[in-house]
């Protein structure tokens, strides 16, 4: 294993150079790492025009490994396993961003006087959560949780959230999750002595084509097409003034965490796995090429002997033919002379 080459490849990947990140930074870093791996695997110009992804890198390395006699099976499988997890994170981040963007556009149609805060992160002790959106209206403060999924959803009586299909796949307890969000937000208001503002939460699904079965009375759900109607239709007993709404906005913004956190994926190990596979396959490819070149040279060197042998065969063939022709001619001339003398041949 060529450690110098591995270190060289590791040094060429500059993404995720910090120890911790805010959520808004993650997708940019993940896409940057993807591009670095693509560029190191393929020719830079080809990679930029083909819009290649990590799964293209996987397929390419699998083919090279096969061509080289499967010399990096173990290392390649470790890289593929890491790629699956990493690609899932990219997919989730992109999907979440698209879903949130759709909901944010919809919130612009609320008829009530409102203030919308996006992606608010709150923490208290060991508790940390992100509120996709907080909508402040004269009667309520509404927490909006965005779900951008194409799977049908089932929420049981206890608040357990399942994605349905051939099998039920448990995601989380959405009731506990939303309760924690409400409690952290309420704590922000209580710290300023505000205890009479109604806080509610809504789980919003961005795909109107899926089926959502909600058996939990503690959770309110709706589709994005219903969101404006739901928020405008919420009942309340107290009406806030515009100044009070702005004050709550200020409190939430002040409480929002600006803290960065370590990325919950071992990027250093993933980079090392990639560099190791690349190093092994590069070395094997060079050896394979050297073997092929050697075989070509040996084959070329054997050609003169073959040609000489052919030449000799042709030479003796020509000599034999000439001797035979001369013999025939001699016999013919002798026969003609004998015939002319009227004698026997």
Instruction: Give the pLDDT confidence score for residue 293 in this predicted structure.
Output: 56
CA 226, CA 224: separation in Å to the nearest integer?
Answer: 5
Cβ contacts of 26 within 8 Å, gap of 6 or more: 89, 93, 263
pLDDT at 227 over 80: yes
Q: What is the pLDDT confidence band of residue 236, given thresholds at 50, 70 and 90?
A: confident
State pLDDT tens for residues 250-295.
Answer: 999 999 988 888 999 999 999 999 999 999 999 998 886 666 656 5
In a domain, 295, yes or no: no
Strand order in the sheet with 198-205: 115-124, 127-136, 140-147, 198-205, 221-223
In a domain, 299, yes or no: no
Shared domain check, 181 and 87: no
Shared domain check, 114 and 250: yes
> What average pLDDT does the chain have?
86
- Characterize the bridge pairing of strands 127-136 and 115-124: antiparallel
Chain centroid, CA 85 distance in Å: 8
Hey, is 345 helix, strand or coil? coil
Mind giving me the DSSP string for 70-120?
Answer: STTHHHHHHHHHHHHHHHHHHHHHHHHHHHHHHHHHHHTT--S--EEEEEE
Shared domain check, 277 and 201: no
CA 328, CA 123: separation in Å to the nearest integer?
Answer: 114
State pLDDT tens for residues 310-333.
Answer: 454 443 444 445 444 444 444 344
In a domain, 239, yes or no: yes
Shared domain check, 66 and 44: yes
CA 133, CA 116: separation in Å to the nearest integer?
Answer: 7
Shared domain check, 125 and 24: no
Shared domain check, 126 and 58: no
pLDDT at 334 over 50: no
Instruction: Give the pLDDT confidence score for residue 335 in this predicted structure.
Output: 35
Give percent above pLDDT 70 in the chain.
81
Shared domain check, 210 and 116: yes
Instruction: Give the pLDDT confidence score for residue 43 in this predicted structure.
Output: 73
In a domain, 103, yes or no: no
Q: How many other C-beta atoms are found inside a 10 Å radius of the C-beta of residue 272?
A: 19
Q: Give the structural domain span for 118.
A: 109-255
Instruction: Give the pLDDT confidence score for residue 165 in this predicted structure.
Output: 86
Shared domain check, 186 and 144: yes
Chain centroid, CA 260 distance in Å: 23
Hey, is 150 helix, strand or coil? coil
State pLDDT tens for residues 97-148.
Answer: 999 999 999 999 999 999 999 999 999 988 999 999 999 999 999 999 999 9
H or E stretch covering 179: helix 174-190
In a domain, 27, yes or no: yes
Shared domain check, 61 and 31: yes
Shared domain check, 128 and 8: no
Instruction: Give the pLDDT confidence score for residue 117 in this predicted structure.
Output: 98
Give how many domains the chain has, as a whole number: 3
Shared domain check, 232 and 197: yes
Of residues 181 and 45, the one with the higher pLDDT is 181
Strand order in the sheet with 152-155: 169-173, 160-164, 152-155, 212-214
State pLDDT tens for residues 150-195.
Answer: 999 999 999 999 999 888 999 999 999 999 999 999 999 999 999 9
Shared domain check, 67 and 31: yes
Domain containing residue 203: CATH number:
3.40.1350
């Amino acid at each position: 294993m060529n450690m110098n080459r591995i270190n060289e490849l590791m040094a060429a990947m500059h993404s995720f150079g910090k120890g911790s990140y805010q959520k808004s930074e993650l997708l940019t870093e993940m896409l940057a790492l993807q591009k670095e791996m693509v560029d190191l695997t393929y020719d830079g110009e080809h990679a930029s025009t083909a819009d290649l992804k990590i799964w293209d890198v996987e397929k390419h390395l699998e083919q090279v490994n096969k061509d080289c006699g499967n010399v990096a099976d173990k290392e390649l499988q470790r890289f593929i396993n890491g790629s699956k997890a990493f690609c899932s994170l990219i997919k989730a981040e992109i999907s979440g961003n698209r879903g949130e963007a759709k909901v944010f556009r919809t919130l612009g149609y609320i008829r009530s006087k409102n203030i919308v805060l996006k992606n608010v992160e709150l923490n208290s002790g060991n508790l940390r959560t992100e509120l996709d959106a907080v909508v402040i209206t004269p009667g309520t403060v509404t927490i909006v949780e965005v779900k951008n999924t194409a799977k049908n959803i089932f929420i049981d009586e206890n608040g357990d959230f399942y994605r349905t299909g051939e099998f039920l796949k448990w995601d989380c307890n959405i009731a506990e999750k939303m309760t924690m969000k409400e409690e952290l937000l309420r704590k922000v208001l209580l710290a300023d002595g505000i205890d009479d503002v109604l806080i509610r939460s809504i789980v919003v699904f961005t795909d109107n084509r899926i089926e959502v079965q909600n058996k939990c009375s503690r959770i309110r759900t709706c589709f994005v097409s219903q969101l404006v109607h739901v928020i405008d239709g919420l009942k309340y007993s107290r009406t806030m003034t515009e100044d009070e709404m702005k004050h709550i906005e200020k409190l939430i913004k002040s409480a929002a965490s600006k803290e960065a956190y370590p990325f919950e994926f071992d990027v250093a190990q993933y980079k090392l796995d990639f560099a190791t596979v690349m190093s092994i396959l590069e070395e094997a490819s060079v050896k394979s090429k050297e073997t092929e070149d050697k075989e070509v040279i040996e084959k070329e060197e054997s050609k003169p002997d073959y040609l000489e042998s052919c030449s000799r065969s042709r030479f003796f063939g020509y000599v034999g033919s000439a001797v035979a022709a001369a013999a025939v001619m001699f016999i013919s001339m002798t026969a003609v002379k004998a015939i002319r003398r009227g004698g026997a041949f």
